[in-house]
Every structure is written in C-alpha cells, then in structure tokens.
Structure 1
Amino acid sequence: MFGRGADIGIDLGTASVLIYIKGQGIVLQEPSIVAINNKSGEVIAVGEEARAMLGRTPQNITAIRPLRRGVIDDYEATEKMLKYFIHKAIGPRLIKPRIAVCVPSGVTEVEKRAVEDATRQAGARKVDIIEEPIAAAIGAGIDISRPCGSMIVDIGGGTADIAVISLGGAVVNKSIKVAGDNFDEAIMTYLRKKHGMLIGERTAEEIKKNIGTAYTRDFPVEMTAKGRNLVSGLPKNIVLSSDEIQEALAGPIDEIVWAVRDVLETTPPELAADISDRGIVLTGGGSLIYGLDKLIAERVGINAVIADEAISCVAVGTGLFVEYKYSRKNRRRNAYD
C-alpha cells in the first residue's frame, strides 16, 4: 500500500465522481457534493454523506456542487473533494499516483488548466487531460484507432458531448450545456407551473430516474412526488405520470437531439456513411432516460444504442487511457535497456 504508485482514471462529473484503478476497475462512485461550514470554511462531508444533507442543512452549513456545467465552479472545494476521493480510493502511498481526468470537449484551455492544477494539488504526481467523448468511446469498447467513423453521444450531469471519432481523434464535435441537471430543473419548473408545487433537487432526480421519459411509453408509469404547496406553504403529495414528465423534459431533450443533427450535418460524407452502418452509441447517466435512443433514431434516421454500463463508460475509458499510455512508455523504456 505505501510503497507503490497507481495509475488512476477519474470521471470528474458535475453530478458524480467515478474513479478507475488499473487492475481493479471502478472502485469509487459518489456524488460531486461537498458540505462546508460557512464560518470556518471547513469541509464537513463529501460525496454520499454530503448528498444526504442537500436541502436539510442549518444556516451555518452549506451543501454545494463545486462543479457546474462540466467545469470547476469552486476551485478550493473541488480540490478538497478530489483529495478526499483519491485518498478513499487508494489510501496512503509514498509514491503519488498518475491520474488522467476527463473534461467536456468544449472547455477552454484555462478551464483545462484549472482541472489539472486542482488534481495536482489533490495529490497527483502526473496529470493527463482527456476529452469526455474520447474517454466514453474507449469505455464503450469502440476501437477509436481505426480509420472509420464512430459517433458517441455522452450525456452527463452538466454537459452533453457529441463527437464523430476516427483515427484516435474527434473529427467533428460539439459540447452543449444541456444534460442531466437541466432535466432536473425542467421537472422542478414543470411542477411549479403546472401543479403549484415546489420540490428539491433530490426529488426531481428521483422522478427523472423512476419515470423520466423521452419517447411515449406503451404503458405509462406513475409515482407519488412529495413537495410543498406554492400557495399555502404546506406539504403536498401528487401522483405524476410518465406522460407528464415526457412533456416536462421535451425542451432539453429536443436541444440534445438537435445537437446530434448538427454534428451529423457537418460530418464528412465517408464518415457519415460509416455512422449510418455502425449506429450511434449513447453513454452517460442522461442516456438512460427511457426512450432517448428510440427518439434519436427516429429523428435522425440512424440506429442508436445505449452502451453497456453507460454511467461508468467515461471513467473506464479514462482509466484505460492512462493504463495504455504508461504501459506503452514502459515497453519503450524496456526496449532501450
């Protein structure tokens, strides 16, 4: 434990952090949430423990998401969160780990540097940055080195990244700040306007996961949602149907579908033909909304499939990237010995 370094892949997501370790796979998956004492600035809780505090903290404690729309919103909180998760995943070590971190394809160089600096401060001896669509494609089992077009749509918490990949790089890509968090916000707005009811982030997320719908179901499903009456201020319970949530999610879902169309329309003809044959691969937690694959296929005329283990694809791909990179360097070094 103490004498050996580690190669780590981190999916530093707006909603969740996932950590992949060489030879072990995914070893950690926790919410990207930090609870902070407002007076002292001390971190009270991180991850699942902090998530349980959302909407339930006293005035002297604030539970925050240090990443917004795929980028760092609170640098210090992000650094502390990373340090906590890395230590939890690998324990104390004399040799600092080499870490690859994924970022949305649309981030600026300044935003990339912020992620790199925060990861170094959290305890990395070497940091590599990889774009999310590339990591997602690798994690989904796509051979990105081949000279043929593969299309990946990665829908996380803060961003949706769409890319056409060939020969190890993104030929065409687009990143939009519409994703899982927007689904939650759309549900909260719908309930406020349609039912005069206020709900929190956690309740919106539960509704999204349980009855979230992008394509009309053959048999609608229902669930009871609990919140507060907007007028009386008293607790209120209502029964929601998947048809209502489909209506609530129509706006952000349409934005993602149009982004997919935009990327396809600017894809070189040869690669577009490959994608037509191979289909579109969906990854990320947002891709699990019921019927999103069917809706995309219907709107763009190309088959769309959800990758196995869609939530962990980016983390696995990031880990495999760093694993391959340094194993290749070691082979080269040994060849010269």
Structure 2
Amino acid sequence: MGLFNWFTQEIAMDLGTANTLIIHNDEITVNEPSIIALNRNNPKEVLAVGKKALMMHEKTHDDIRTVRPLRDGVIADFNAAELMIRGLIKQVYPKKTLFRPSWRMMICIPSSITEVEKRAVRDSAEQAGAKEVYLVHEPMAAALGIGIDVEEPVGNMIIDIGGGTTGISVIALAGIVCDQSIRIAGDEFTSDIAESLRRYHSLLIGERTAEQIKIQIGSAMKELDEPPADIPVNGRDLVTGIPKQIYVSYQEIAEALDKSVFKIEEAILRALEQTPPELASDIYRRGLYLTGGGALLRGLDKRLSQKMKLPVHVADDPLKSVVRGTGLALKRYDDYPFVMR
C-alpha cells in the first residue's frame, strides 16, 4: 500500500491567468507567474517557466517568445499551457528517479467556464502527466480557503478578483446559487495604468512596469488613511523617443482604475439583485468576502463597503486562499458534491 501511495501523488493547482500555485503534501511548493518562454524555432523547447520566463518578458529577441497560456481565466494556448503545467510539476518533484509518480490532480476553474474550456483544462493536465483530474469552481475553493463552511444552509457572497476575471458568487448548501463573472480584473488594472501614463504623460511603459506600479501604489480611492509615497517610473517619451523618468502618485493611479472598479461594483450589485431574499438577509449579517490578488488593491474594501452599505472582509492571505481551498477539496473529494470528476 505504501508503494502505491508513493506512485500516486496528490497536487492541488490554482491555474490562474497571472499566477499558478501548487499545493503538495499540505505545503505551497510552487508559486510562479503563469508564463513560459519558448524557442521560436522549436516550439516544443522550453527555455524557462515562471519567474525566469517573466524576467525575459518584453525583452526577447527573434529566437525567443514568451507566452501567457491563459487569458481571461481560461486556456488560450493549449500547447503552451501543457508545457507550462509540465514544467511547474517538475518543480514539485525535482528528483530524478527510475519511476515517476502518477498525479491525482485537482484544478480550480472559473465558475463561468464553458464545457469546451473545461475540456481544455482537463486535457492539458492529462497531457502533462495527470492520471486523475478533478475540477472545482474557484468561488467554492476560495470559500473553503477563507474558512467558510460551504455546506451549511447560510448564504455567503465571495468576490474573487483574479488576473483575468472577477467572479462574484453566492454560495449556500455546497452549491453556487447565483453567479456573476466579468473579464475586468488585475490584467485590466495593469492596462488602465499603462494607458493613463501614455495619455497624460506621453510615456510608453511595458506590462511589467505597469504591474509594479499597481503593486506599489495601486489604489481604488483618492483618499487613503496611509497613502503611499510617489514613485519614479521609467519609460519612453512618445514625443522625443528618448527614455525619461516621471513621478506618479497613488491619486493618479486611483483615477486610472476608477472605471474598472466601477464595473466591478456594478457586477456585485447585479449579483445582489439576483440573490434570493433569505440568502440576502444572511449576506446583510455576514457581509462580503474579498479574495484574489485584486483584493490587495488599497482602499478597495472601503470603497465597496461605502457603495453596498455592507461590511467587506478581506481574506487573510487573498493570493493563496483559492489554492488552499483547492487543497482542502482534494483531501475530501469524495465528500464534496461540487467536485467535478
């Protein structure tokens, strides 16, 4: 039996648009950006995966291309996704042995995913070496990761702001009662910042620079209790073509992100409108739960609370709550009816 357990290893994966996290033996063993660098002349040759590939992003020459296999929460490039998953699994089990273990794998997916997109995730995992693949919806995984008892007859609203999509779901009795999903999330915030600097400062910046601005001074409100200091930003002047540096404030970034945050607010209101009245009363008492990388945006919880007139709770570790919930679901996959086999 012990030999069988060694050959069959379990991993839980949060296959995200921006980052992929893997839990193995109750520990997060992989936390890498969802990006892969390939040889343009030989698309099967992997040059780098994760952080090393991100360092190459937007700095490559003609022989190298960097690929983000996922867009808007779903697989956009099947071959690159398979190679990326395979490369990340190697980080989980780097030992070179005669027999490689077979994987029982659970992957979380957006709640709005189609059957074709679901099949793409399953096929990518199987091609990467998984013998058994289970799927779980991200809102359910997020709720488990936060510590909510998803099986009790009480309504909970989970707002998961990831890299490609924002999912707003009301959960009760181990099921999703109503659901809203919009393709406005972290990637859209990054694009908004780059577009704002181009428009108002004639400064062209790359995706990585815009991402760093979002992390360092990104804000959903123009007035914060503890405002971050202005930061220098380097880019190319669109008028002269010469590299230059400007200083950017968090108020300017809050202005750039305002439209996207407003669209998330509208999606939450639509989800609340669809919620049955008994569950709505539970949500009034319990409030809203924010998770995902977008939950780290400064002032977002306060802005949503003012708009909805409801308490908003940010998960203790919003970046990892989904993968932790996926790991818990994998442990009890026979007990949870929402796990897809």
Shared fold per TM-score greater than 0.5: yes
1:217 — aligned with what? 224
1:113 — aligned with what? 119
Alignment of 1:103-182 (within 5 A): 103-182=109-188
Residue 16 of structure 2 corresponds to residue 13 of structure 1: yes
Identity %: 46
Alignment of 1:231-242 (within 5 A): 231-242=239-250
Gaps of 5+ in 1: 329-337
TM-score (normalizing by structure 2): 0.93
2:267 — aligned with what? 259
Distance 1:218 1:9 in 2: 38
Residue 33 of structure 2 aligns with an amino acid whose one-letter code is P
Answer yes or no: is the 8 Å Cα contact 1:156–1:286 preserved in 2.
yes
Distance 2:150 2:41 in 1: 49
Aligned length: 328
> How far did residue 218 of structure 1 move?
3.5
TM-score (normalizing by structure 1): 0.94
Answer yes or no: is the 8 Å Cα contact 2:26–2:327 preserved in 1.
no
Alignment of 1:1-337 (within 5 A): 3-21=6-24, 23-41=25-43, 42-91=45-94, 94-215=100-221, 216-218=223-225, 220-221=227-228, 222-325=230-333
Question: Does the residue aligned with 2:8 lie in a helix, a strand or coil?
Answer: coil
After the TM superposition, list the runs of 4 or more consecutive aligned residues in structure 1 that deviate by more than 3 angstroms. 1-4, 91-95
Residue 218 of structure 2 aligns with an amino acid whose one-letter code is G
Question: Does the residue aligned with 2:13 lie in a helix, a strand or coil?
Answer: strand
> How far did residue 210 of structure 1 move?
0.6
Distance 1:164 1:151 in 2: 4
Answer yes or no: is the 8 Å Cα contact 2:11–2:106 preserved in 1.
yes
CA deviation string 1:275-331 (max 9, x = no partner): 110111100001100011111111011100110111001111111101111589xxx
Gaps of 5+ in 2: 337-341
Return closer, same or farther for 1:38/1:252 CA change in 2, 3 Å cut-off: same
Answer yes or no: is the 8 Å Cα contact 1:220–1:243 preserved in 2.
no
Aligned-residue Cα RMSD (Å) equals 1.6
Answer yes or no: is the 8 Å Cα contact 2:293–2:319 preserved in 1.
yes
Distance 2:316 2:84 in 1: 28
